[in-house]
């Protein structure tokens, strides 16, 4: 098995650009952010930016993907099956990310919202599908994919509902309902 080595300079430059984008997004609406704003803050030239990203939307997408995927994968790294503990971890990770993004990007929360939702749903769907495929070899992949999609959209939806309407801590909120839901599903077999 070959290991791909990524030049540390590329990693540093991308991080520098992502950090510059995030800082700029705290101060300006996305529509008014320019590549020049990002490159000046990152102290790199435009050619360097374009060597890594297509435009400001590409860097926004990459930044959100990096943070969302890393957070979800880290929180579910040791999970072997979909149970209350795994779903609770997912919920807490999602709500934490929604809160952090809202706080960090107040000016751009609307623009980020759709992209964040899409990224979280896709990441969860992939994670859930992989867990299901590993455990249920005898069920066709399309059924598992639909189940993973149902679960990821539902979990994101309830996290968003929590963010907009609840005063409870995220863990308390999910722990009030999740055991009931999973017990009902188990009893319906």
For residue 98, the surrounding DSSP H or E stretch is helix 84-104
Structure tokens at 83: 């149970």
Those residues with Cβ within 8 angstroms of residue 162's Cβ, 6 or more apart along the chain or in another chain:
95, 168, 170, 173, 174
pLDDT tens profile 147-179: 999 999 999 999 999 999 999 999 999 998 888
How far, in Å, CA of 163 to CA of 100, rounded?
A: 11
Could you tell me the residue ranges of all domains in the chain?
A: 1-53, 56-187
How far, in Å, CA of 51 to CA of 133, rounded?
A: 37
The whole-number pLDDT of residue 130 equals 85
The whole-number pLDDT of residue 159 equals 92
Fold of 56-187: Tetracycline Repressor; domain 2 (1.10.357)
How far, in Å, CA of 71 to CA of 101, rounded?
A: 13
The whole-number pLDDT of residue 107 equals 63
pLDDT tens profile 74-132: 766 666 677 788 888 888 888 888 887 777 666 676 767 777 788 888 888 888 888 88
Q: What is the pTM of this model?
A: 0.75
* Residue 144 contacts residue 136 (beta carbons within 8 Å): yes
pLDDT tens profile 11-66: 899 999 999 998 998 888 888 999 999 999 999 999 999 999 999 989 988 887 78
Those residues with Cβ within 8 angstroms of residue 146's Cβ, 6 or more apart along the chain or in another chain:
none
Q: Do domains 1-53 and 56-187 have the same CATH topology?
A: no
> Which residue matches tokens 């009931």?
180
Structure tokens at 47: 């050619």
The whole-number pLDDT of residue 2 equals 57
The counts of H helices and E strands in the chain are 8, 0
pLDDT class of 180 with cuts at 50, 70, 90: confident
* Residue 48 contacts residue 147 (beta carbons within 8 Å): no
The whole-number pLDDT of residue 3 equals 60
> Which residue matches tokens 């791909």?
4
Fold of 1-53: Arc Repressor Mutant, subunit A (1.10.10)
């Amino acid at each position: 098995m070959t290991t791909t080595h990524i030049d540390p300079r590329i990693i540093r430059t991308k991080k520098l650009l992502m950090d510059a984008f995030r800082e700029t997004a705290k101060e300006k609406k996305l529509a008014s952010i320019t590549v020049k704003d990002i490159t000046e803050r990152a102290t790199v030239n435009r050619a360097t930016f374009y060597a890594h990203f297509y435009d400001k939307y590409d860097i926004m997408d990459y930044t959100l993907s990096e943070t969302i995927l890393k957070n979800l994968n880290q929180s579910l790294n040791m999970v072997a099956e979909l149970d209350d503990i795994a779903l609770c971890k997912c919920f807490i990770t999602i709500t934490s990310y929604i809160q952090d993004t809202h706080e960090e990007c107040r000016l751009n929360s609307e623009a980020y919202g759709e992209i964040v939702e899409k990224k979280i749903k896709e990441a969860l769907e992939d994670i859930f599908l992989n867990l299901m495929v590993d455990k249920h070899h005898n069920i066709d992949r399309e059924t598992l994919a639909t189940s993973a999609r149902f679960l990821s959209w539902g979990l994101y939806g309830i996290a968003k509902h929590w963010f907009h309407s609840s005063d409870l801590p995220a863990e308390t909120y999910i722990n009030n309902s999740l055991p009931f839901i999973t017990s009902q599903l188990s009893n319906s077999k």
